[in-house]
């Protein structure tokens, strides 16, 4: 069985597209069924693997989710991490978890994407001529 239906994948892609429309930042979602070990370490590994560290302004955000193991993490690059409040990623995770508890994984991802997008817009507004540096689709690992 697929991790997400086509409709859920489109919902996530559209949320990323909408969030990135207002910022020079980049958001990616990486998903897999299982995560052996720490989800932050796994997310960090994928952060580099999918090129999130290559954004010009170091303003990439990666949301990682392991659906069967019920683990997830959110990490940002140095540019965004220096600017968001210390508890921002944790408060974002709490908001996402509320949706996840109701088995609404795509909605939880959209919540996290939206919250990250709002902060990216605040600190890294859209720049004229900005290009989408990375794909918006979920990366299945």
Asked if the structure places residue 139 within a domain, the reply is: no
Q: What is the pLDDT of residue 120?
A: 96
Secondary structure of residue 127 in the 3-state scheme: coil
Asked if the structure places residue 17 within a domain, the reply is: yes
- Name the DSSP class of 122: H
Tell how strand 60-66 and strand 26-32 pair up: parallel
User: CB-hemisphere CA count at 13 Å for 58?
Assistant: 7
Q: What is the pLDDT of residue 37?
A: 92
128, 127, 135, 117: which is closest to 52 by C-alpha? 135
Asked if the structure places residue 36 within a domain, the reply is: yes
Asked if the structure places residue 136 within a domain, the reply is: no
- Domain housing 97: 6-126
Asked if the structure places residue 19 within a domain, the reply is: yes
116 touches 19 (CB < 8 A): yes
Asked if the structure places residue 132 within a domain, the reply is: no
pLDDT by residue, tens only, the chain of 141 residues: 467 899 999 999 999 999 999 999 999 999 999 998 999 999 999 999 999 998 889 999 999 999 999 999 999 999 999 999 999 999 999 999 999 999 999 999 999 999 999 999 999 998 877 776 676 788 888
Tell how strand 71-76 and strand 60-66 pair up: antiparallel
Q: What is the pLDDT of residue 136?
A: 76
The CATH number of whichever domain residue 68 belongs to comes to: 3.10.310.50
pTM above 0.75, yes or no: yes
Q: What is the pLDDT of residue 96?
A: 97
Q: What is the pLDDT of residue 137?
A: 82
78, 83, 99, 91: which is closest to 12 by C-alpha? 99
Give me the number of domains the chain comprises: 1
Q: What is the pLDDT of residue 1?
A: 46
Asked if the structure places residue 1 within a domain, the reply is: no
């Amino acid at each position: 069985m697929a991790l997400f239906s086509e409709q859920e994948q489109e919902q996530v892609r559209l949320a990323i597209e909408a969030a990135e429309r207002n910022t020079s930042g980049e958001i990616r979602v990486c998903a897999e069924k299982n995560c052996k070990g720490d989800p932050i370490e796994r997310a960090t590994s994928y952060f580099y693997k999918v090129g999130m560290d290559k954004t010009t302004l170091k303003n990439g955000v990666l949301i990682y989710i392991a659906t069967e193991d019920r683990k997830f993490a959110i990490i940002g690059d140095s540019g965004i991490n220096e600017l968001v409040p210390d508890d921002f990623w944790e408060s974002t995770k709490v908001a996402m978890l509320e949706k996840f508890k109701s088995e609404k994984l795509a909605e939880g991802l959209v919540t996290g994407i939206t919250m990250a997008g709002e902060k990216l817009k605040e600190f890294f507004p859209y720049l004229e001529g900005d290009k989408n540096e990375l794909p918006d689709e979920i990366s299945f690992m």
